[in-house]
Amino acid sequence: MKQAVIIGASGGLGGALAQQLLQQGGWRVLGTYHQSGPLWNHPLMTWHSLDVRAENAIAALMTQAPKIDLLINTTGILSSSHQGPEKSIRQFNAEHMMASFEINTVPILNLGKHAQASLKAGHQPIVVALSARVGSIADNDLGGWYSYRCAKAALNMAVKTLAIEWQRSLPKATLIAYHPGTVRTALSKPFLSDDTARITLSPEEAAQHCLRVLERLTPTDTGTFWDWQGQKIPW
Ligand SMILES: NC(=O)c1ccc[n+]([C@@H]2O[C@H](COP(=O)([O-])OP(=O)(O)OC[C@H]3O[C@@H](n4cnc5c(N)ncnc54)[C@H](OP(=O)(O)O)[C@@H]3O)[C@@H](O)[C@H]2O)c1
């Protein structure tokens, strides 16, 4: 049995990924939730509560998974209860930006730090950081969304940098940043118009695309940024 760890399995994409791995068979899944609580059960699914901002909680979680073959971090925020994505610099708020970095950027580094031993025990382990195309500097033609764009751009740099270190210390691992498409989840729904909703993916479709992309990865792909259609995104 292979072991997957899905951080944010209570979310739209994380939940669909966990369910599809379990349907495929051959996987045990350890999934985390924060505010939503465990939403469903399966004999091969284990739920843990985790606030991904707490390094000691991440370290404790990793002791529950001594071998990891697939680690997917899906945690992310686009807005908070008092602030949505900025349309203009007038709406910029430093506290919101720092909150965005805490959830979108920092966790992959604490996960990488504390999962190393478990990944070493895995078979050609894959680590996926859910990023977003808007985190690509090369692809930024529209502007706006300062906090989210900056947090995901910094996440991309974290992925690239950690992948370089792991080429030496964990050469069988593949670490990528991944854009899932625009997916109808709690994160995106408030910002989808009728027009954009038509070109979005359901969480189930997005999870299928993601797992298809992951199947084709090899360690030579480490330190790259992919979209749901299997195309590389420029940084
Ligand atoms: N949806 C899209 O269109 C889209 C597009 C591009 C990129 N992405 C990225 O894809 C990822 C998944 O997004 P989604 O659409 O599935 O969002 P979602 O449904 O809102 O799920 C977000 C997940 O993050 C968890 N989370 C938030 N704060 C946390 C914390 N402090 N500690 C631990 N977990 C925390 C949530 O847990 P609880 O619910 O239990 O609190 C939830 O499981 C995100 O990184 C997002 O930026 C999404």
Distance 168 CA to ligand 1 centre (A): 31
Say yes or no to pLDDT of 194 above 80: no
Q: Round to the nearest angstrom and report the end-to-end CA distance of the chain.
A: 35
Closest residue by Cα to atom 42, ligand 1, is: 11
Give the pocket of ligand 1 (CB within 6 Å). Answer: 8, 10-14, 33-36, 50-53, 74-77, 103, 130, 132, 179-180, 182-183, 185-188
- Those residues whose C-beta lies under 8 Å from the C-beta of residue 149, and which sit 6 or more positions away, are 134, 135, 140
User: Predicted confidence band at 20 (pLDDT cuts at 50, 70, 90)?
Assistant: very high
- What is the domain count for the chain? 1
The pLDDT of 103-107, averaged and rounded, is 98
* pTM above threshold 0.85: yes
Ligand 1: residue whose CA is nearest its atom 7: 132
Look up the domain containing 123 and give its range. 2-227
Per-chain mean pLDDT for the chain? 96
Q: For position 47, what pLDDT does the model report?
A: 98
Residue appearing with tokens 């971090």 = 73
* Residue 7 maps to a domain: yes
What's the rounded Cα separation, in Å, for the pair 225 and 210? 12
Residue 167 contacts by C-beta under 8 Å, 6 or more apart in sequence?
222, 223
Residue 137 CA to ligand 1 centre (angstroms): 22
- The CATH number given to whatever domain includes residue 39 is 3.40.50.720
What average pLDDT score do residues 143-160 get?
98
Q: Whose CA is nearest to atom 39 of ligand 1?
A: 36
Q: Is residue 126 part of a domain?
A: yes
Atom of ligand 1 nearest to the CA of 13: 16
Residues 72-98 have pLDDT tens digits of 999 999 998 889 999 999 999 999 999
Contact 156, 101 (CB under 8 A): no
pLDDT at 191 over 90: no
Is residue 235 a part of any domain in this protein?
no
Q: H or E element: which one contains 127?
A: strand 126-130
Does 197 have pLDDT greater than 80?
no
Assess whether pLDDT exceeds 90 at residue 37. no
Residue 234 lies in a domain: no
Residue 27 has which token pair?
């996987």
- Residue 189: predicted pLDDT: 86
Rounded to whole angstroms, the Cα distance separating 177 from 118 reads 20
